Structure 1
């Protein structure tokens, strides 16, 4: 029977191979294990196999897991990667280490105001709607620079980079075009904000293309934990 540790090892091997194919150092690329809808025992199994970065999509579920594991697994780095309503910013500000889906000035200001002073600043990425799909969250590419300036001025946030969920498609050329657009946006933004170091893109089905386009963090769920349990979502 294939274990979570086995699947994690396979994911790291895919990352290493993709990095080699793109003449990149695999150490530049972090694996974010997407544990949404998955029980705590599976998170612990991944932790025991060496995983420390976990991504959650749902505020209440993520908060419950963080609280349950805070004492026993306090070195986990928790990333919020789902859409966020303004009335739920306080939970993100108080519990998570990272927020990948920032796309509104109002949300940014609330997160900064609500981030406890005893915690390090919340690390954030701007979500870009690179595919221009109405069903997706994120700012338009031409709005990235303005929002970045606002975030950079807020005292309890640290702007780390960009995040995107490109079109779900088998059209490799379209995938590559959208990933390449994100890479260009990221490099342009770094000219104004040299400390940026994170391009969060690529998932279980397309991590190779994302790494070829410069991704520094791939979000992998099903390839580690198995199919998502929609009944719990």
Structure 2
């Protein structure tokens, strides 16, 4: 017997609620982002039918190809860009996404500011921090964070908070705690952190947004 999408969604929400009880937080304060990258519409639809509406995609082109028809069928879909964003895709991202989690460099600040003006809409952005000093993951160096935040604010980018992807196969709690401290020091409330393997820990340490793929969709073949 295999779990249905509804069952998996219930399991993840139960784990979030449990983590919230431990941390004395409210489950309603946590946004669960179902990361649907590399999953087709047929795989996504059962989660939509189960009532979930917040999804994350890594690539602009992939999202453009599959989400408009789903948005016509289902009301209230909220799309988050959770992957690295190229500056030349800023216009498309501004038109498509409701939130961007990977603002990490001055050139992207400029590109998004222009794109938001052109689109006539301001899209909230998380600044991605290279919390584990892993250049291949992208993200702003911790030392450069104050300058990037100032540039973003000067450009009228609406800042939602900070985002990170901790190093793999290492206890994530210290990295989550560090991101929470950086956010507090810089007057930011949002924390996009935690994925399928560690989202309960992230919630206990202050995550406001968790990005969960495998636990909701199963492992990709």
8 A contact 1:124–1:160 mirrored in 2: yes
In structure 1, C-alpha distance between the alignment counterparts of 2:62 and 2:152, rounded to whole Å: 26
TM-score normalised per structure 2 = 0.93
Match for residue 211 of structure 1? Answer: 203
Match for residue 193 of structure 1? Answer: none
Do the aligned partners of residues 115 and 74 (structure 1) sit closer, same or farther apart at CA in structure 2, a change above 3 Å counting? farther
Match for residue 45 of structure 1? Answer: 46
TM-score normalised per structure 1 = 0.89
Match for residue 99 of structure 2? Answer: 98
The one of 159, 163, 175 aligned to 1:178: 175
Measure how far apart 1:183 and its partner are: 0.8
Q: Secondary structure at the match of 1:33?
A: strand
**What CA deviation, in whole Å up to 9, does each residue of 1:81-117 have, x standing for no partner?**
1112222222112211111001011112111212265
Q: Secondary structure at the match of 2:74?
A: coil
Question: Aligned residues, how many?
Answer: 220
Q: Secondary structure at the match of 1:70?
A: helix
1:130-169 superposed matches below 5 A: 130-155=131-156, 157-169=157-169
Stretches of structure 2 that go unaligned for 5 or more consecutive residues are none
Stretches of structure 1 that go unaligned for 5 or more consecutive residues are 191-195
8 A contact 2:91–2:119 mirrored in 1: no
Deviates most, 38-47 or 5-14: 38-47
